[in-house]
Structure 1
Amino acid sequence: MKLFCLPYAGGSANLYAAWRRRFQAGITCVPIELAGRGIRRRLSFYEGMNEAAEDVIEQLMSHAADGEPYALFGHSMGGMIAYEAAHLVHERRLPPPQLVIFSGRPAPHVVRSDADIHGQPDAEFMKRIEEMGATSAELFADSQLRAIFLPVLRADFRLVETYEYIPRLPLPYPFLVVAGTTERWSEEELEGWRLHTSAACRVMRLEGGHFYWNGNPEPITSLLMEELQQLRLHANIGWEGG
């Protein structure tokens, strides 16, 4: 069983480096690198969510060519990309995920209440990013690091803020929805994911805020390990998500 992981805004595949050591017994963590960062930093940033989903699908299918079952995990922006990618998988009748995990992200039909910030001047943009807790002031204080990460953050926030939800039939894949206990998203906004699958959907809270797994990934990796082991060992029985 492979677990493909998509990062949040401003993040890269390196976010999940520590996860690789935490999975065992047939579960392999495969971080997906998005365009414009890491080893793919020379590639242009995505112009829209569909382009991001297309790129992710290409990477998924290259890794899944061996026929091994897989699951898809996305945190925040990564969850939005995962949702669109899952629809492409279904529409094109590609090998389906055994489970899709949406972390720190409300259902896609939930209307954004935040003002757009991706087009604001650097000083105001960085201030808003720091207020969200998405990064530290030390990162922006370093001119070299700022030159690397600021364009990535701005491009990712543009991707999120220009996303337009398109109503479609529910996906036939089971969902697991995870958020922090002090996350801003309400129960109603998280439970809304049930409208987007015709299979099982489970909603859970783990201790912490929006970035609940930063600094201590053990609760989420243990949860995912348990869920994926059940899928791997009892594939013929089916996943019981409640």
Structure 2
Amino acid sequence: MKLFCLPYAGASAAIYMKWNKAIAPGAACFPLELAGRGVRSGDPFYRGMEEAAEDVLERLMRHYDGTPYAVFGHSMGGMILYEVCRLLRERNLPPPAALFFSGRPAPDVSRTEEPIHLLPDDEFAERILEMGATSAEVFSSKPLMDVFMPILRADFRLVETYRYEEKEPLPWRLTILAGRDEKWTDEELEGWSRHTTAECRFVRMQGGHFYWQNGSDDLQVFLQNELSAAPRIEMNFVKGGR
């Protein structure tokens, strides 16, 4: 079982490198690198969510070998994953045996925060630090700022310019994960049930938005159990591409 993982805003695939040991032996973690960071630092940033979804889909299918697979996306990664799932369905491609959306409200929940990606550097950095999305060390070092500021701006632009377009619900089971101290309300998270005709489960774990980075292995244990069962979940191939 391959578990493909999509990172949050400002992060690279490297954040998942330790997961292989945690979810073994039943699964192997395959982090998908996004454009403009890590080994893809020379690739231009995405101009919009459609381009991001197309790119991630191409990379996911490149690794698809006919065996069941699962996908995990946290925060911005969850937004991209949702649009990737729409493409999978529309093109009648092999669907995931398990889908994990983490730290994101339902895609049709409107943003209430003011956009920050166009703020001056000092104000932008202040807002990022308030969110706990990165450490103060990044903004106290010019070399680190030169690397991470463009990535953060590009990712927040992607998130803040995303516009949900209503389409048919997905036909697959969804698992929605969030920290107990997450800012998203139960109502905002439970809105995911509108986006599937199958089961939609909600799991809260100890911690805030970055609950899975607080030193606890709760998420890894949960995923290990879920992925062990996933091959027995029926994989519904949608006929006719819809």
> What TM-score, normalized by structure 2, do the two folds share?
0.95
Q: How big is the shift at 1:110?
A: 0.4
Aligned to 2:211: 212
Correspondence for 1:51: 51
Matched, 1:9 2:31: no
Deviation at 1:138, TM superposition (A): 1.3
Counterpart in the other structure of 1:20: 20
The alignment-based identity, stated in percent, is 55
1:221: how far off? 1.1
In structure 2, distance between residues paired with 1:45 and 1:115: 22
Q: CA deviation at 1:217?
A: 5.2
Match of 2:145 in 1: 146
**Cα displacement (A) at 1:42:** 0.1
Post-superposition CA distance 1:95-123 (Å, at most 9, x none): 11112111000000101000000001100
Please name the residue that 1:122 is paired with. Answer: 121
Correspondences of 1:161-240 after superposition (within 5 Å): 161-216=160-215, 218-232=217-231, 234-235=232-233
Could you say which structure has the greater relative contact order, defined with CA pairs below 8 angstroms and 6 or more residues apart?
2
Separation (CA, whole Å) in 2 of partners of 1:235 and 1:205: 23
C-alpha change, 1:87 and 1:237, in structure 2 (3 Å) is closer
Alpha carbons 1:19, 1:217 under 8 Å: kept: no
CA displacement at 1:169 relative to structure 2? 0.6
Aligned counterpart, 1:101: 100
Q: Where does residue 67 of structure 2 map in the other structure?
A: 68
Provide the secondary structure at the position in 2 that maps to 1:213. helix
Superposition RMSD on alpha carbons, in Å?
1.3
| Structure 2 residue matching 1:51: 3-state secondary structure | helix
Aligned structure 1 segments of 4 or more residues deviating by more than 4 angstroms: none
Where 2:209 maps in the other structure, the secondary structure is coil
- Matches of 1:53 and 1:237 in 2, distance apart? 21
Gaps of 5+ in 1: none
Pairwise CA distance, 1:26: 3.0
TM-score by length of structure 1 reads 0.95
Q: In 2, distance between residues paired with 1:189 and 1:237?
A: 27
Shift of 1:237: 10
Matched residue count: 236
Task: Classify 1:237/1:72 alpha carbon distance in 2 versus 1 (closer, same or farther; 3 Å).
Answer: closer
* Structure 2 unmatched runs, 5+: 237-242
